[in-house]
Structure 1
Amino acid sequence: MGETHVTAHEGRSATSPSPIVDEAAPEARRRNRALTRLRSLRSPRRPRLWFEILLIAVSYWLYSLVRNAVPEQKAAALANADWIWSAEQSIGLAFEETVNHAVNSVTWLIVSMNYYYATLHFIVTIGVLVWLYRSHPGRYAATRLVLFSTTAVALLGYYLYPLAPPRLMNGANFIDTVLVHETWGSMASGDFKNMSNQYAAMPSMHIGWSLWCGLTIFALAKAPWARILGLLYPMATLVVIVATANHFWLDAVGGMACLAFGYALSRAWYGSLPHRLPKWVPTGKSRLTGVRTARLPRPGPAADALAREDAPATADTPVREDAPATAVRHP
Structure 2
Amino acid sequence: MSMITGRSRLRPPENTVERVRLLPQLAIMVAAVAAYFLVRGATQAATAEAVRNAHSVVGLERALGLFHEPGWQASVMSMPFLRTVLNDIYIWGHWPVIAMTLIWLARRHPAVYLRARNTMLVSGGIGLVIFATFPVAPPRLAGLGMTDTVTVGAHAYRVLQPAMFTNQYAAMPSLHVGWDLVMGLAIAAASRHAVLRLVAVTLPVAMVITVLCTANHYVVDAIAGATLTTLCWLLVGSFRPRRVSTVTSLPREDFDRLPALAGQR
Quote how far apart the aligned CAs of 1:240 are. 0.5
Q: Greater CA radius of gyration, 1 or 2?
A: 1
CA distance in 2, matches of 1:61, 1:75: 25
Q: 2:243 aligns with which of 292, 296, 299?
A: 296
CA deviation vs aligned residue, 1:33-61 (integer Å, no higher than 9, x gap): xxxxxxxxxx9531333235423541453
Unpaired runs of 5+ residues, structure 2, are 1-14, 246-265
Quote how far apart the aligned CAs of 1:88 are. 1.2
2:79 maps to amino acid: V
Match of 2:72 in 1: 99
Quote how far apart the aligned CAs of 1:96 are. 0.7
Q: 1:45 aligns with which of 17, 23, 29?
A: 17
Match of 1:324 in 2: none
SS at match of 2:145: coil
Unpaired runs of 5+ residues, structure 1, are 1-42, 272-294, 299-331
CA distance in 2, matches of 1:258, 1:297: 31
> Would the aligned equivalents of 1:114 and 1:183 in 2 still touch at CA under 8 Å?
no
Match of 1:282 in 2: none
TM-score by length of 2: 0.77
Q: 2:27 aligns with which of 51, 55, 63?
A: 55
Quote how far apart the aligned CAs of 1:144 are. 1.9
Counterpart check, 1:164 vs 2:137: yes
Aligned pair in 2 of structure 1 residues 241, 114: CA closer, same or farther (>3 Å)? same
Q: 1:220 aligns with which of 178, 184, 190?
A: 190
SS at match of 2:171: coil
> Would the aligned equivalents of 2:178 and 2:229 in 1 still touch at CA under 8 Å?
yes
1:17-166 equivalences in 2 (<5 Å): 45-55=17-27, 57-72=29-44, 73-166=46-139
SS at match of 2:94: helix
Match of 1:238 in 2: 208
Match of 2:166 in 1: 196
SS at match of 1:70: helix
Counterpart check, 1:267 vs 2:237: yes
Aligned pair in 2 of structure 1 residues 99, 48: CA closer, same or farther (>3 Å)? same
Match of 2:149 in 1: 177
CA deviation vs aligned residue, 1:73-100 (integer Å, no higher than 9, x gap): 1121111111111221222221111111
2:26 maps to amino acid: L
Aligned pair in 2 of structure 1 residues 193, 126: CA closer, same or farther (>3 Å)? closer
Aligned pair in 2 of structure 1 residues 204, 186: CA closer, same or farther (>3 Å)? farther
CA distance in 2, matches of 1:75, 1:99: 26
CA distance in 2, matches of 1:254, 1:99: 20
> Would the aligned equivalents of 1:213 and 1:230 in 2 still touch at CA under 8 Å?
yes
CA distance in 1, matches of 2:49, 2:152: 26
Quote how far apart the aligned CAs of 1:107 are. 1.8
State the identity %: 28
CA distance in 1, matches of 2:16, 2:204: 28
Question: Aligned-pair RMSD on alpha carbons?
Answer: 2.6
> Would the aligned equivalents of 1:70 and 1:158 in 2 still touch at CA under 8 Å?
no
